[in-house]
Amino acid sequence: MNNTERKPNWLKIKLETGENYPKVKKIVELNKLHTICSSGKCPNIGQCWSIGTATFMISGDICTRSCKFCATKTGRPLPLDPQEPVKIAESVKLMQLKHCVITSVDRDDLADKSAEHWAKTITAIREANPNTTIEVLTPDFDADEELLNIVFASKPDVFGHNMETVKRLSDQTRSRAKYDVSLKVLSLSSQAGLITKTGIMVGLGETEEEVVELMHDVRKSGVRLMTIGQYLQPTKQHIPVVEYVTPEQFEKYRKIGLELGFDNVESGPLVRSSYMAEKTFIDSKIKLEKHQ
């Protein structure tokens, strides 16, 4: 186990405040939008916002679940904003995004767990931005096929759902989500013909063998894209970091993933689910076209 009292040099974040950073910040604030960039305390917020990209978070900013690794607020959410899909679509247009990423809090308080809201948002973005590719990072919807099919029918270019961690640690870190349930979600997405993506955190006490086992499991479920990043403890109330994984180990995971047949594996200390999202989508699309 590595000493976790002080972050290693490879986790130092370069603060970026390019001319696009205030522009993106202003668009987000004026439209009263939520982003996982800020809600999730993403270490790449400066880099992404400075190049004019952001990951939007729909269905409010209060989650009905309380996962022990997540910085998003938990509690009783407010009603859905019926204008949110249009606001998101207009913001994507203002930012002139070629590739947009949408995620959300869990809404277990709703009968459809916000599936219809998801579909409306994807449709609104596509109608206002026909040349923009759309990537989603969704909750598990309890693997309810009827609800998932509502989202699948809106045909996002990439469907993502995160496994978050290895099987042994899943119940310890996630409040309601289950390892096998998440695998089912990914499998159903692949069966629906969508480019499917997942992501995990490392540094929670997992072994290399467990990470490789997870990679095998998600490949069997049809996942084509994967991200692997370092877990960083958001607050003292969240589970602590067990280990700061080295860049060399991240590179090893990347190579193993490519050998297993993933189209792309983004693996690094500061990698997050939407990191280099446009590039990974293009990589997958190119490989798909080669096999057709």
What average pLDDT does the chain have? 86
How is residue 143 annotated by DSSP? G
3-state secondary structure at position 23? helix
Q: Which of 32-36, 87-91, 106-110 has the highest mean pLDDT?
A: 106-110
Residue bearing the bigger pLDDT, 8 or 289: 8
Task: Yes or no: say if 109 and 41 are a contact pair by the CB < 8 Å rule.
Answer: no
* Residue (of 154, 151, 93) closest to 123 by Cα position: 154
Count of C-beta atoms within a 10 Å radius of residue 54: 25
Cα dist from 235 to 60, 92, 239, whole Å:
21, 31, 8
Query: pTM for the complete prediction?
Result: 0.86
With cut-offs at 50, 70 and 90, classify the pLDDT of residue 102: very high
Residue 22: its pLDDT value, please? 65
CATH 3.20.20.70 fits 11-290, yes or no: yes
Confidence label for 94 from pLDDT (cuts 50, 70 and 90): confident
Q: Which residue stretches of 61-195 are H helix?
A: 84-95, 115-128, 145-153, 167-173, 179-191
Where do the H-state alpha helices sit in 129-246?
145-153, 167-173, 179-191, 208-220
Contact at 8 Å (CB) between 180 and 214?
A: no
User: What was the pLDDT predicted at 71?
Assistant: 79
In this prediction, residue 200 carries a pLDDT of: 97
pLDDT in tens, 37-77: 544 455 555 555 555 556 788 998 899 998 888 878 899 99
Q: Is the pLDDT of residue 2 over 50?
A: no
Q: How many CB atoms lie within 10 A of CB 123?
A: 16
